[in-house]
Amino acid sequence: MKKISYKQYLALHNGAEILASDSFGEKVLRLKDGSIIKLFRTKRIISSALFYPYALRFVNNASKLKDMGISTVTVIDSYKIISIKRTAVHYKELEGDTLRNYIMHHSLNGDIAEKLAAFIARLHNEGVYFRSVHFGNLLITPDNSFGLIDIADMKIKSHSLNIGKRIRNFHHLTRYDIDRNSLKQQKEIFIREYLKICNFPHDNSKKLEENINAVLS
């Protein structure tokens, strides 16, 4: 992580568009050259974020996902801006629209539901446990495939996720009403495709089916 001064930060910031902010201030900026900076607060004095800053987690996750062939942003650099108690990751935008935005304009049809199920199954089978996996952090790319943004909060295991983790992750995927309500419309297709790709033995498959059904009821 590169230490930069507040002045250097302001130089990057010059002419930027604010993509997201919260009560603590700006969170995501699109710079003049189209690249994006995401800021993380260093929250408490005693916090795991002090030892393993979110910006670095983001960078490491991006690199692992790329190695696995899963679409995500391309990291340019990461920064520590001590004077404003922030770390930051600077990356190239992944072309596409968030799934949430896409659905607002096109609705969630069977084809997209099937592709989404296949993508989630792939993440689970390959050990990717992405707690922030809601429709605002899933990007649908121009070739109608999926990618991930906002990837600081993620664990990548060397083995596939167990049933319990999968079920928990379906709760994460559908934690916002707006996302859950659109997925509900295509739940048969979604569940069928997910289970087909996971190819679990009958009992596990049944358990998963019941649980995903419950999450989407």
**Which residues of the shown chain bind ligand ADP in the complex (CB under 6 A)?**
19-20, 27-28, 36, 38, 73, 93-94, 98, 136-137, 139, 149-150
Q: From the CB of 56, what's the least distance to ligand ADP, in Å? A: 16
50 binds, among ligand ADP, Mg ion, none (CB under 5 to 8 A by kind): none
**Paired residues of 78 in beta bridges:** 89
**Which pair of structure tokens corresponds to residue 28?**
């995501």
Does the protein bind Mg ion through residue 150 (CB under 5 A)?
yes
Nearer to ligand ADP, 36 or 198 (CB): 36
Stretch that binds Mg ion, among 105-113, 149-157, 180-188, 200-208 (CB under 5 A): 149-157
Question: Given the complex with ligand ADP, which of 28 and 68 has the nearer CB atom?
Answer: 28
- Min dist CB 144 to ligand ADP, Å, is 16
> Among residues 42, 78, 137, 174, which is the contact residue for Mg ion, using CB under 5 A?
137
* Torsion, CA 49, CA 54, CA 57, CA 61, rounded to 10: 150
Triad 181, 107, 208: Cα angle to 5°: 45
Residue closer to Mg ion (CB basis): 127 or 136: 136
Q: Which is nearer to ligand ADP, 75 or 215 (CB)?
A: 75
Residue closer to ligand ADP (CB basis): 23 or 217: 23
Q: Which two tokens stand for residue 65?
A: 């996902």
In the complex, minimum distance from the CB of residue 199 to Mg ion, in angstroms, rounded to a whole number? 31
Helix axes 177-184, 187-198, angle to 10 degrees: 90
Shortest approach of ligand ADP to residue 69 CB, angstroms?
Answer: 17
Binding interface with Mg ion (CB under 5 A): 136-137, 150
